[in-house]
Amino acid sequence: MDYAVKILEPDYSAISGVKILINRCLLYISPNKKLMMHRLVQEMAKNIVRQELILPANRSRVWLSCDSYKILKKGIGSETVEGLALDMKTVLEENIAFKPSNLKIDALKNMDSLKFLKLNFVELIGSYENLSEDLRWLCWHGFHLRTIPVDLCMGNLVAIDMSYSKLEVFEPPTDIHSLKILNLKDSHKLNEIRNIIRIPNLETLILWNCYSLVNVCNTLGDLTSLELLNMTGCNTLGDLTKPTLPFPISLHQLFLKDCFLKHTTSFPLTFRVQLDLQYLNLGNSLFESLPCFDHLKKLRVLDLSFCSRLICLAGLPNTLAELYVYGCELIERITFQSARFTLQEFGYLGCIRLHEVEGFMKLIPIAKLDETDLGHMKWLKEHENHQVCLVGDDELTEGRSWHIQMLYEFGIMSTSMSVIEDPNMTLEYISNSPSLYFDVPTCPKNKRLKGINVNFKYSLSGDDWVWFCKISTSNGVDLVYNPKVFGKPEDD
């Protein structure tokens, strides 16, 4: 929706127009903000356009690739055309008699009202100077030239999408104050971006999978309106140690996944001036740790998935709502600025060495704990080589060692092991049923109850494996504990 509104607003009052269409049940918006329209409503709209005039070249919109091809082939476009779409792949699939060559851009010169032009893998020959000055949206997938033509009129463009292009250098021929969106995704030959400051109001820049990109001009940092920068897959960035890449202070979303970044003095990841940053993706990077991000008070999503060398994360901002560390096999510990954090989504599948998330949980093999950590359960050290299969939270248990583990969460410590004979297992109160009743002994003077030990045997049956312990007291305080992981008994 945001994309469409930015393009349509100057000519069609899109914000109010969308509301009107929604109120009339002709349009609705999906939960992920996609504009949705029923197929029958779309067909009705197309029929209205078909009834404008008999010849497609005289209609306001031409969306069938076969009609668009004939218009460009014969040069019969008219000033009534506002939108035209041509997908050369579709044309060739539908009619082998059509040829992809010899389409001249002069066929567009009569389309003075053209605002939306979509060309997929179309090669046009000729001068670009007669292209409509009213053009707002240029979507040209597979653009065939090495550079942007100097005579291409871009003065009123709001969005350019040249994904899959053959561009080697991108340089705006003139200042384009209206342009807000630039998409050069999968332009695999693109190696340089020059004078990006000529697009001073750019809000979105997508360089996804431009893996030959080695030179981005320093004026990138001067784009004070740039909110989204996606450089996913620009894997040459990891080698950009001599020229530093300046990020604008205005960034809200930054994608640097699959760039194989290293945190060095020449490529800092501190983001000291990007205080409005809300989404940060550094997946598949090569650093062992990150600088403290606690100054990023607006950061909501941090994705560090498959950072194969990452060992620890320290001092994450409390405001973080989503954290993803999938596949970080070496990560051991995650801490926050304070224990009062607001994490709502936490993905950690494949983190087989992760033993602590501060304020959330800690899961450590008994062998790695000393007697001080175990307190009154220090006798468990004698059984540290004992093995047990853990179930419960698959993200925590998958690939983890089978040696017995101690789980710490909510101020409670718990472990699971097969039945053993040990004098330390002698219990004060015993019951053979699922419930046990007893009076808490009176505490000596100036003493307080420190804790309660609960030991029980269990078996599992069926597919729903879960246990919980509920402690009810006569003064109305109920405590319920359901551990994230627990042992699966042999032979159930």
Whether pLDDT at 242 is above 60: no
Beta bridge partners of 85: 118
What does the pLDDT average to over 244-266? 87
Return the CA Rg of the chain: 31
pLDDT of residue 165: 96
| CB contact set of 444 (below 8 Å; sequence gap of 6+) | none
Binned at pLDDT 50, 70 and 90, residue 224 comes out as very high
Q: For 339-380, what is each residue's pLDDT tens digit?
A: 677 788 999 888 988 888 887 888 999 999 988 888 888 899
**Average pLDDT over all residues of the chain:** 89
pLDDT of residue 92: 78
pLDDT of residue 338: 77
Between CA 364 and CA 367 the distance in angstroms is 8
What does the pLDDT average to over 429-453? 85
Whether pLDDT at 439 is above 80: yes
Q: Would strands 192-193 and 169-170 be described as parallel, antiparallel, or unpaired?
A: parallel
pLDDT of residue 212: 93
**Extents of the domains making up the chain:** 1-51, 55-359, 363-488
Number of H helices, E strands in the chain: 7, 30
Binned at pLDDT 50, 70 and 90, residue 100 comes out as low
pLDDT of residue 371: 85
Greatest mean pLDDT range, 219-223, 375-379, 449-453 = 219-223
8 Å CB contact between 147 and 169: yes
Q: Would strands 253-255 and 279-281 be described as parallel, antiparallel, or unpaired?
A: parallel
Write the CATH number of the domain with boundaries 55-359.
3.80.10.10
Q: For 134-178, what is each residue's pLDDT tens digit?
A: 999 999 999 999 999 998 888 899 999 999 999 999 999 999 999
pLDDT of residue 304: 96
What does the pLDDT average to over 404-427? 87
pLDDT of residue 97: 61
pLDDT of residue 163: 97
What does the pLDDT average to over 97-106? 70
More confident residue, 54 or 182: 182
Shortest CA distance to 193 belongs to which of 144, 243, 238, 227? 243
Whether pLDDT at 425 is above 90: no
More confident residue, 461 or 301: 301
pLDDT of residue 197: 96
Q: How large a percentage of the chain has pLDDT more than 90?
A: 48
